[in-house]
Amino acid sequence: MSVELARALVNLRADEQTQARYDELATLRTEGRLAAPEQEELEAMVRANTLVGLLKAAALSALQQDKPA
């Protein structure tokens, strides 16, 4: 993994609209008002976030290995 790609992954964040939608779905779930299609949407967002988290961990590891001792 290139240093540029690793840095980009580490700095990757959800845009405001996506974060707001996630927050809305999470609130509905907490309140017990989440419809089935919304549950599927929330689960997809959680899976995507998990994947991004794994990629970020790999990127951090790559950046640490790239540092001079």
Query: Each residue of 4-18: pLDDT tens digit?
Result: 999 999 999 999 999
Specify the 3-state DSSP secondary structure of 67: coil
Q: What is the pLDDT of residues 9-65, one digit of tens each?
A: 999 999 999 999 999 999 999 999 999 999 999 999 999 999 999 999 999 999 999
Q: 51 vs 1, 10, 48, CA distance in Å? A: 16, 13, 5
pTM of the model: 0.81
Q: Are 9 and 59 in contact (CB under 8 A)?
A: yes
